[in-house]
Chain A
Amino acid sequence: MPEIENPYAQATVENFRRTPASLRPQLLKMLERELNGAESDQNDPATSFRRIPFNDRAEEFQWLAQNSGRFQGEWVALFGNRLLAHGVDYSKVSQEVKTLGIDGAMFMFIEGEGNEDFVRFLP
């Protein structure tokens, strides 16, 4: 049988060869369980995603591109091209939006300079 030209498959085979013979039957059963689990996931696409109406929030992102420089380090709440509220305290911004009775506002934190740890973090 020709070998599969996939690095993960080849690594799996290599690891299988390195596994002590006494453990191989157990490893095979584990892989079989993985296969069955993966197949049952793939056979049920209805639960994996749902199509929904798409709002591209173009007005909000355009507003951010033009105005976010003035709000560094703050939360902004936007609805269309309207700035509903802003401030450093998210809870106050959120509360202000709730009092306006507007549903569906978009909340963004405008990052400032000097987030070196975050920029360099190694996820």
Chain B
Amino acid sequence: MTYPLEFKQKFVYQENERGIFIPVTLVCEAETTACGAKLDTGADFCYFAREHAEEIGLNVDEGTVLRVETSRPEHPMIFYGHEIKIQALGYEIETTVYFWEHYRLPRNLLGRAGWINKFRLALIEHDLELYLSHYDE
């Protein structure tokens, strides 16, 4: 038995030992900022650096609080959720993005809730190919 799949978009990503990085633009009303984010199926949500939030005019600390456990339970990471638009790989969606309370987040993550769960994805790591369509498409 075979399982044929069709997708509307193809992205050939750059080989990078740190992961699969995707070009992303964050949009809040008329403000935009372009950055890169790592595709991360292990991340529950979308996490971005505080600097990007401030660039598009968000008051980070006014968002919904999300506490994320770390290897040191006494030091959870605090993020603030905001409803904004993410533009990536030819699609613009409205979603919740969580920004870290501190500056210099090591890397931005596109996680399951908020981005991955909006799309149908296929990954061929061997060829550095990512295929996707929006789930409603």
Give A contacts to B, CB under 8 Å: 42, 45, 47-58, 60-62, 64-65, 73, 75, 90-91, 94, 104-109, 111-112, 115-123
Contacts and interface: CB of A to CB of B under 8 A. Distances in A.
Contact of B111 (A64, A94, A123): A123
Nearest 5 Cβ contacts at the A-B interface: A54-B90, A57-B23, A111-B106, A61-B14, A45-B136
B92 interface: yes
A72 to B, nearest CB: 11
Contacts of A112: 106
A16 to B, nearest CB: 25
A42 B13 CA distance: 31
Q: How large is the interface on B (under 10, 10 to 19, 20 to 34, 35 or more residues)?
A: 35 or more
B125 interface: no
A53 B109 CA distance: 22
Contacts of B36: 57, 60-61, 64, 106, 108
B47 A49 contact: no
Contacts of B136: 42, 45, 48-49
Given A61-B14, A65-B14, A106-B23, A123 B43 contact: yes
Contacts of A58: 14
